[in-house]
Amino acid sequence: MTTTTVRRLHPADLARTASVGLRTRRMRAALSALGIAIGVAAMVAVLGLSASSQAGLLAEIDKLGTNLLVVTPGQNISGEDAQLPKEAPGMISRIGPVEAVESTGSTDAKAYRNPYIPSFNSNAISVVAASLDLPAAVRTTVAEGDYLNAATATEPVVVLGSAAAERLGIYRIYPDQRIWVGGQWFYVAGILNSATLTPDIDGSVLVGYQAAQKYLNFDGHPSTVYVRAATDQVNDVFGVLAATANPQSPDEVKVTQPSAALVARAAAESALNGLFLGLGAVALLVGGIGVANTMVISVLERRSEIGLRRALGATRGHIRLQFLSEAILLSALGGVVGVAGGTVATAVYVSIKNWAIVVPPLAWAGGLGAAMAIGVIAGLLPALRAARMQPTEALRTS
């Protein structure tokens, strides 16, 4: 009785034989791997950009603080715009956990670079009265010049929000620089940096309360009150702000938390991940079809090699494993290139945005895993087909 010993392929021998088709048909292998690379790169870039964007947004939220509450007038029972009482900022400041209260008040004045600009060309710039510590409350700073102080708040002096300055074409502060506000000249004292949590300030021209009453017929009623509360008691302050700002008509007061909008924006961005991941999956599927097509053609072209190896003692399992490994290797190469490409794309874009570079393990590990899974699926049928070939038939038809 004789026994046949079936020798297993050493991993090094398997890798060498699996790479034969790739090394001898480099252009075809590169084009087949390209589809896999594109799909994986898209998936890695989507997850990397999303994670980096959320990390940047959360860092920005932490810097700006989540304890800012904004009080604005709503509408009265007849549907008309309501007003906040003049005493609203003072009453709000008496709430225990409140740390800072600043306000602005709307005026009917318009601001122009000079008196020769048509009145209808207002560039959506609003002129508002502003309290003296407003920048600190909304977490912005002065980019050029100075902010209002106790002296300039009583004179025809303005500070420009970042968007308002851009629309007026003012980027630097020069001595005796003026703009036309409410039918008269106002001196420009400074320009603010962007206020991320309160973008309405960016498009505004800010004047002192006393100057607004003296020169612009301001009625003294605040239109927006900015409240900084103790971080651990924001919800408690939120609940009593409306009744405190307008005890007689709390229903005519709106209270919002600007940081909540940024958190919602982060959630909305992550909600789109599924769509882009789907597009990446489609590209990956197309790449898998390309790999399958390449392997089918490779089996047909290499029948003589298959027949010769079978004649020299290679088993069907050896042939099957060889072609399956070749498909996996081809897909893995595409996956590695795709991960590298997606990571580079993420790093470039994130660097432009000044965010932290975050590529989650799910992105690169999932990309490589998906590529290899595609390789197994795409290479299985060609590998089975190659293994079923009889040595005599393969050699005869080659």
Do 201 and 258 form a contact (C-beta atoms < 8 A)? no
Burial class (CB in 10 A: 0-12, 13-18, 19+), 5: exposed
Give me the helix-helix angle, 11-18 and 316-353, nearest 10°: 80
- Tell me what pLDDT residue 189 has: 96
d(CA 128, CA 138): 15
d(CA 291, CA 184): 74
- Tell me what pLDDT residue 271 has: 55
Do 206 and 104 form a contact (C-beta atoms < 8 A)? yes
Tokens standing for residue 368: 């490589």
Strand duo 98-106 + 126-130: pairing: antiparallel
Which of the 8 DSSP states describes residue 121? -
Q: In Å, how far are 220, 274, 397 from 65, measured between CA atoms?
A: 29, 30, 75
| Helix (H/G/I), strand (E/B), else coil: 204 | strand
Give me the residues of the chain with pLDDT under 50, please. 1-6
The CB density around residue 265, as the number of other CB atoms within 10 Å, is 14
d(CA 355, CA 330): 34
The pTM score is 0.61
